[in-house]
């Protein structure tokens, strides 16, 4: 079983395709769940604390806006844990859950630099492109299975 | 805008339990089952779950072991058209639920965009086939010059 990071990190289609093959998708919702179930948070509606921008320093420099660092405190552990990644490029405006273009760029940069297999896809707009995307994801996930077996 | 501010939720023991998870079940276009059938099937499993009927399918919450068991069973109804996804907040949590505030729920826009291609994904899973897509390339400079000269010659 391989832990695969997906980008956008809340994607239904990518996470579902990975789960169908028996692997674990690393999605943002799990991170958020950890965050809201944390008993150390005093006032539950405010789930971002002052510690988050400090945690984000592991991924971004001090000059980087605190919004990026705060977001990286949640997305960063996904990147650390990832053993492979699937990234969707060329998505329309408003696609994804981050709400910050710089965080998106930084996260994709860190995933590409991490020396793990990365599959980059184009956002599909019609039936043929969707077929191609599904085939590419399935082939990529199968190739991970093979390397996993070889290592064992 | 004060109505839009999230209220402090009254959290129960289940809300603080890290082992309790929530998952959303989506029914893709062209599915052979309805939302109600899915909810009834969940009830018939007789597992200790909170089940919510929604417009896109349903939402279930409970101990992770029970949730995964239920999803495994429910997928058998229509494996190619039932999709599932994690959700951070429990069903009806006032920080996300639209019943307590205005505007679309966070995450709705992503869901709306992905739902548009969900039917194609279901088709691709049902009838897998190899496709080749021709990439659109820009016109080469030489060809462009030739067309331009032809047009100019014709004009004269």
ipTM confidence score: 0.88
Picking from A11, A19, A134, the nearest residue to B125 by CB comes out as A134
The answer to whether residues A13 and B114 touch, using CB atoms and an 8 Å cutoff, is yes
- Residue B1 CA to residue B102 CA, distance in Å, equals 9
CB atoms within 10 A of CB B76: 9
β-pairing, B57-63 vs B20-27, is: antiparallel
Residues of B in contact with A98 (CB under 8 A): none
- What distance in Å separates residue A146's CA from the closest CA in chain B? 21
The pLDDT score that the predictor gives to residue B1 is 47
Does A131 score more than 90 pLDDT?
Answer: yes
Taking only the tens place, the pLDDT of each residue in B8-21 is: 667 777 778 889 99
Cross-strand bridge partners of residue B30: none
Q: Residues of B with CB below 8 A from A10's CB? A: 85, 107, 110
Give A123→chain B minimum CA distance, Å: 10
Residues of B within 8 A of A126 (CB-CB) are 120
Q: What is the mean pLDDT of residues A64-82?
A: 92
Average of per-residue pLDDT across B113-137: 90
Q: Which residues in chain B touch residue A37, judged by CB atoms under 8 angstroms apart?
A: 15-18
The pLDDT of residue B83 is: 95
**pLDDT above 70 (res B2):** no
Using a CB-CB cut-off of 8 Å, the residues of chain A touching B56 are none
What are the Cα distances from residue A117, in Å, to A79, A104, A112? 13, 19, 8
Measured torsion, CA atoms of residues B133, B134, B135, B137, in degrees rounded to the nearest 10: -170
CB contact, 8 Å: B3 with chain A?
A: no
CB contact under 8 A, A13 and B15: no
From CA A15, how far away is CA A17, in angstroms rounded? 6
Distance from CA of A148 to the nearest CA of B (A): 24
Residues 89-128 of B with CB under 8 A from A: 89, 95, 106-107, 109-111, 113-114, 117-118, 120-121, 123-125, 128
Nearest chain A CA: its distance from B15 CA (Å): 7
What does the pLDDT average to over A104-116? 93
Nearest to B118 among A13, A19, A95 (CB): A13
Indicate if the pLDDT at residue B149 is higher than 50. Answer: yes
**Band of residue B155 on the pLDDT scale cut at 50, 70, 90:** confident
């Amino acid at each position: 079983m391989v832990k695969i990071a997906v980008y956008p990190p809340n994607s239904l289609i990518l996470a579902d395709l990975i789960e169908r093959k028996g692997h674990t998708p690393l999605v943002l919702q799990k991170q958020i769940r950890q965050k809201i179930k944390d008993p150390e948070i005093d006032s539950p509606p405010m789930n971002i604390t002052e510690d988050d921008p400090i945690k984000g320093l592991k991924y971004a420099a001090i000059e980087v806006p605190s919004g990026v660092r705060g977001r990286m405190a949640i997305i960063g552990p996904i990147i650390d844990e990832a053993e492979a990644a699937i990234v969707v490029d060329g998505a329309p405006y408003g696609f994804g859950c981050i709400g910050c273009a710089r965080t998106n760029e930084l996260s994709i940069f860190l995933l590409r630099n991490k020396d793990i297999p990365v599959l980059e896809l184009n956002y599909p707009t019609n039936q043929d492109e969707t077929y191609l995307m599904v085939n590419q994801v399935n082939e990529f996930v199968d190739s991970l299975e093979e390397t996993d077996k070889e290592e064992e | 805008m004060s109505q839009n501010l999230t209220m402090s939720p009254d959290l129960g023991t289940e809300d603080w339990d890290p082992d309790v998870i929530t998952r959303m079940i989506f029914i893709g276009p062209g599915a052979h089952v309805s939302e109600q059938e899915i909810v009834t099937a969940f009830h018939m499993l007789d597992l200790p779950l909170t089940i919510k009927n929604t417009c896109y399918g349903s939402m279930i919450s409970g101990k992770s072991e029970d949730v995964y068991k239920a999803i495994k069973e429910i997928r058998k109804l229509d494996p190619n058209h039932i999709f599932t996804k994690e959700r951070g907040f429990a069903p009806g949590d006032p920080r996300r639920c639209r019943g307590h505030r205005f505007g679309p729920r966070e995450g709705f826009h992503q869901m709306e965009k992905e739902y548009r291609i969900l039917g194609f994904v279901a088709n691709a899973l049902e009838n897998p086939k190899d496709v080749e897509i021709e990439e659109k390339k820009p016109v080469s400079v030489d060809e462009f010059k030739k067309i331009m000269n032809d047009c100019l010659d014709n004009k004269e």
